[in-house]
Chains A and B, each alone.
Chain A
Amino acid sequence: MRKGLHPLVMIALIAMVTLAGRALPTWTLSLATIAASNALIALGIVVLARTGNVSFGQGLFFAAGGYGVALIANTWGLTDAMAQVIVGAACGGLLGLVIGPLIARYSGIFFGMLTLALSMVFYGALVKSTALGGSDGFNVGRPSLFGMSFTDPREADFMLYAVSVIVTGFAGIAATILFRSEFGLASLAVRENNLRVEYLGLSANRIISINFLIAAIFAGASGAFALMAQRHIDPQFAYWTTSGEFVFVAVLAGNQSVAAVFVASMALELVRSFSNLYLPNTWQLVLGVFLLGVILFLPRGIGSLWIRDRRKRRIPAAATLTAERGAAP
C-alpha cells in the first residue's frame, strides 16, 4: 500500500493554497472556486469508482444539494457559506442513503445507466416544477461567513475561494484516509471480485452503498458551492452533460491519487477558460484534443505522472520469481 503525504502535511498545503488566494488575480479566484467544487464531486466519483462502479448521474446529488440549499436560503434566510455547504452535503447524503442500497445490487453499465436515468428523472421533475422556477430556476442571495457580509466583490470571491479550498482539501484528506483504510482496501477487492468478497463474510453491497453515500455527500456539497458561486440554480445542475463533466474530471485524474483530482479539475478549467478566450468558436475542439491527449498518453490518469504502476515496477523481480518457483510453492 502506498504511503503518500501525511495528513498534517496536507493541512499545511491547504493553508498555503488558501493564503495564496490573497495574491491571485480576481478572475482566477472564481476559476479556482469552480475547479475546487468540481474536484469535490469528481473525488466522490473516484471514491465510488474504486468499487468498480462509475456513476453517470452525479448531477442528481449535485442538484439536490444546490436546490436544497437554495430553498432553505430563500425560505429561512440561511446565508452562511459553511452552513450552506453542510446543508448541501446533507441533502446529497440523504438522497444517497435512499438510493445507494437499491442501486448497489447492480454493477457495470447497468449501474452507470441507472444513475444516469435517475438524474434525468430528477431533471425532468425540476423542469416541470413551477414552484422551483421550472427551466429558468431561481436566484439566491450573496453568501456570508460567520456573521460577516462581503459587499466587496473581491472579498466575496476570496471568501468563497477559501471556503471551497478548505472544504475540498479536508474532503481530500478524508478520502486519503479512506483509501488507506481496511474499508478502502475492501473497496478495491469488490472491484475485482465481489463474489469472493462475499465468501469472505463481507457485504459487497454494503461496501458499494457506503462509497455511494460518500460520493453523494461530496456531490451535494459541491452543488452548494456551485450555487454560491453562481447565485442562481436551474435544472441544468441535474442534466446529463453536467454529470458527464464530472466524470471527465475523474477520468482525467485516474484513481491512483487524490491530489490528481484537484490537478485534473484545475487543468480542465484552465484549458476551458483559455480556449474559450482565444478560440471562442472552436474551444470545444481544443478541450477535446486535450482530453484525447491525456487519454492517449496518460491512460491511467494524471495521477500516473507521479504514482508509478507497481506492477510495472516489479516485472523483473516477478519474472525471476515465476521462473524459480514454477507452479509449485
Chain B
Amino acid sequence: MTPVLSVRQLEKRFGAVVAADALTLDIPAGQKISLIGANGAGKTTFVNMVTGYLKPDSGTILLDGIDIGRRSPRSVARLGISRSFQIPQLFVELTAAENLTVAISGIGKRMSLRAPAEAQGRRDKAVELLERFGLADLADRPISELAGGVRKLIDIAMALVRRPRLLLLDEPTSGVSAEEKFVTMDRVIHAVAPDAATIVFVEHDMEIVSRYADRVVAFYQGRILADGEPAEVLNNQEVRRYVTGGVR
C-alpha cells in the first residue's frame, strides 16, 4: 500500500534529551496503528512534529508526497492531518454543537462575517457528527458541564470534521473508566469508519492496543524499538522489558 505518511530520519532534541532519534516510519492508508512506549519515549513528540506543533531538527515528513516538516499546525490540518489531545482541547464556554460549528467553519476558504453560526446546514452537520458518537442529545450543553469522557469524544469529533487523511489520537481512552474503555474505543472506531481515515493512536492500555491496532510501533528513548503486528511486538523481549513491563 502507498504510505499516507512517510517519515525519514526524523530527529528532535530538547537540550541533552533525545526525543526523536532517526525515526523512520511509513504509515499506509487505512491502517490503525498504535504508538506505545513509556512516558518520555517520544510518542507525543512524534505526534507534535507530524502535526506541525514542533519542527524537527532534521529529517523529512511527507504526507502523500508533500513535505510538511516545516509547516504550521493550520497548514498541516488543511492538508489532511487532524488530531485529538490527551487532555481534550475544547472551547469550554461554548456548547458541544458550537464547538463542532467552529471546526466546520475551518473547512471553507473564508469564514462569513454575516452568515449565522447556527445556520441549519452547519447545525445539522454538527449534530450528525455528535450523533456518530451517540452525543446528539448533548448538542446544546456547554462543554464546561460535560464529563471528561464525553469531552474526549467531542475532541475526536472535532478532529473528524475535516475528513482527514490521517487521524492522530493522543490516548483516546485515558481518563475513561476500565469498564467503559472498550465502549469508548468502539464508538471512536465506529464514528471514524465512514471517513475511512488512517488512524494513529497513542495508547498505554495494552488491551486496547491488542484489540484495535492493526500494527504497533513501540518507542523507547526517542527510537523505534519494535514495529509490526500487535502479537509480535507485544511479545518482543525488549518491548516487554522497556515498554510493557511484562504485562500483556
Which chain A residues (1-55) contact chain B, with CB distance < 8 Å? 1
- B146 touching A196 by the CB < 8 A rule? no
CB distance from B193 to the nearest CB of A (A): 17
**Residue total for B at the interface (Cβ-Cβ under 8 A):** 58
Q: Is the CB of B94 within 8 A of A188?
A: yes
Question: Closest chain A residue to B137 by CB distance?
Answer: A321
Contact of B77 among A201, A314, A318, A321 (CB under 8 A): A201
Cβ–Cβ contact B149 & A329, under 8 A:
yes
Please name all residues of chain B whose beta carbon is closer than 8 Å to the beta carbon of A177 when the two chains form the complex. Answer: 113-114
CB of B101 within 8 A of CB of A327, answer no
Known contacts A195-B73, A200-B77, A328-B177: A183-B112 contact under CB 8 Å: yes
- A186→B135 CA distance, assembly (Å): 22
User: What's the nearest-Cβ distance from chain B to residue A225, in Å?
Assistant: 24
Contacting pair A192 B98 (CB below 8 A): no
0 or 1 for each of B146-183: is its CB under 8 Å from A? (1 = yes): 11111001000010011000000000000111011001
Report if B141 contacts A (CB, 8 A): yes
A247–B61 alpha-carbon span in the complex (Å): 47
B149 near A201 with CB under 8 A, answer: no
Q: Are A1 and B141 in touch, CB under 8 angstroms? A: no
Contact of B141 among A196, A201, A318 (CB under 8 A): A318
Asked whether B244 is an interface residue with its Cβ less than 8 Å from the other chain, the reply is no
Secondary structure class of chain B's binding surface, majority of residues: loop
Contacts of B112 in A (CB 8 A): 181-183
- Contact in complex: B111, A182 (CB < 8 Å): yes
Check B116 against A180 for contact (C-beta < 8 Å). yes
Nearest CB in chain A: distance from B156 CB, A: 11
Residues of B within 8 A of A197 (CB): 102, 106
* A315–B161 alpha-carbon span in the complex (Å): 29
Answer yes or no: B115 CB below 8 A from chain A CBs: yes
Does residue B66 face the partner (Cβ distance < 8 Å to A)?
no
Q: Are B149 and A185 interface neighbours, CB within 8 A?
A: no
Cβ contacts under 8 Å, B133 to chain A = 329
A270 is an interface residue with CB less than 8 A from chain B? no
Q: B90 at interface (Cβ–Cβ under 8 A)?
A: yes
Between-chain CB contacts (< 8 Å), 9 pairs: A185-B98, A188-B94, A189-B94, A196-B89, A201-B74, A311-B142, A311-B144, A325-B149, A327-B180
Known: A177-B113, A183-B111, A183-B112. 13 other contacts (CB 8 A): A1-B98, A1-B118, A182-B112, A192-B93, A200-B105, A207-B111, A210-B113, A310-B142, A314-B142, A321-B147, A325-B147, A328-B149, A329-B135
